Amino acid sequence: MARDMVMEHLHPTFRQKVELLLQELARANLPFRLFEGFRSPQRQRELYSQGRTRPGAKVTNADAWSSLHQYGVAADFVLYIDGKWSWDDSGERKGWWKQLHKLAQVQQLEPLSWELPHLQMQAMQLAQLRSGSYPPDGDSDWAENLQQAIVSWHSTPVAPPLPAAQFGRPPLPANAPEPEAGNTLAQAGLKRAIVIARDGLRLRAGPGTSFDVKTTLRSGQLITVMQSSGDWSQIDIQGDGFADGYCHSGYLAPA
């Protein structure tokens, strides 16, 4: 599955620390970049399976919902040199990793001695997160992304509780007008769908592969199909009635 580098999917407290660390790395001329932030439970299971039920060497001992990545409070930083990612820690570069960890600690980010790229928010206990005790001051971007990960998980272990209601959208005022007749989702001929592409689905600016990629939809993400054109569907991600782009209809299933 595709890596997630969307800053808004990180908890805002952690997100700010990551942004400050990136600024300090740039000032120190250290070629580290954010390699992965939030990680879905599906991707975590996929990584955990490597070296166990799938070919390859083991890359993690954390199964789904057992990594702080799933809660938006951990991120991986990797060297990016000459347009390529590098985990090299030999020679001069060994000192670069030490500098990364030193600068991270200034931002109250904890490194792991056995996993050089991994940095996480201090004082985070996995047991608390799995029980639904999330860091305070979460915002809707972080909460809605975590909610999506929770509701799309249909395997073991059991997903954690949803974030508290205060992170959701505010209630409508009492005098909010009802939608006009013929304006509901069903009456408008719109339908909900779910992304079934294992590695995510590219959202393009138009109905075809020649159009620019705007973003990548997550596996299991819920969207609204506004209209179809051949093998392509125009979709609304936010559910606000505005089109966001096109994706291939073959990787969508009725929700």
pLDDT averaged over every residue in the chain: 90
pLDDT confidence band for 191 (50 / 70 / 90): confident
- By the 8 A CB rule, do 87 and 54 touch? no
- For 56, phi then psi, to 5°, come to 115, 170
178 pLDDT higher than 70? no
Q: Residue 168's pLDDT is what?
A: 47
Across 36-50, 53-67, 131-145, 182-196, least confident range: 182-196
184 pLDDT higher than 70? no
Spell out the residues 6+ positions from residue 17 whose beta carbon is closer than 8 angstroms to its own: 107, 108, 109, 121
Spell out the residues 6+ positions from residue 31 whose beta carbon is closer than 8 angstroms to its own: 79, 80, 81, 96
- By the 8 A CB rule, do 41 and 47 touch? no
pLDDT confidence band for 188 (50 / 70 / 90): low
20 pLDDT higher than 70? yes
pLDDT confidence band for 171 (50 / 70 / 90): low
Cβ atoms < 10 Å from Cβ of 45: 18
pLDDT confidence band for 239 (50 / 70 / 90): confident
Tokens for 150? Answer: 């929770």
Cβ atoms < 10 Å from Cβ of 52: 9
- Cα radius of gyration rounded to whole Å, the chain: 20
Q: Residue 240's pLDDT is what?
A: 75
Q: Residue 179's pLDDT is what?
A: 56
pLDDT confidence band for 166 (50 / 70 / 90): very low
The one-letter amino acid code at 61 reads: N
Peptide bond into 157 cis (omega under 30): yes
Q: Residue 64's pLDDT is what?
A: 98
Per-residue pLDDT reduced to its tens digit, 78-98: 999 999 999 999 999 999 999
pLDDT confidence band for 31 (50 / 70 / 90): very high
Q: Residue 117's pLDDT is what?
A: 97
Q: In whole angstroms, give the CA distance from residue 20 to residue 24.
A: 6
Instruction: Name which of 17, 19, 15 is nearest 106 in CA terms.
Output: 17
Q: Residue 87's pLDDT is what?
A: 97
- For 128, phi then psi, to 5°, come to -70, -45
Tokens for 176? Answer: 């909010």
Phi/psi zone of residue 218: left (φ > 0), alpha (ψ -120 to 50 degrees), beta? Answer: beta
**What is the sign of the dihedral through the CA atoms of 139, 140, 141 and 147?**
positive
Percent of the chain with pLDDT over 90: 71
CA 206 to chain centre: 24
- By the 8 A CB rule, do 40 and 70 touch? yes
Q: Where are the alpha helices (DSSP H) in 152-240?
A: none
Contacts 24+ apart (CB under 8 A), 156-161: 157/63, 157/64, 157/65, 157/66, 159/41, 159/65, 160/65, 160/71, 160/129, 160/130, 160/131, 160/132, 161/131, 161/132
Q: Residue 118's pLDDT is what?
A: 98
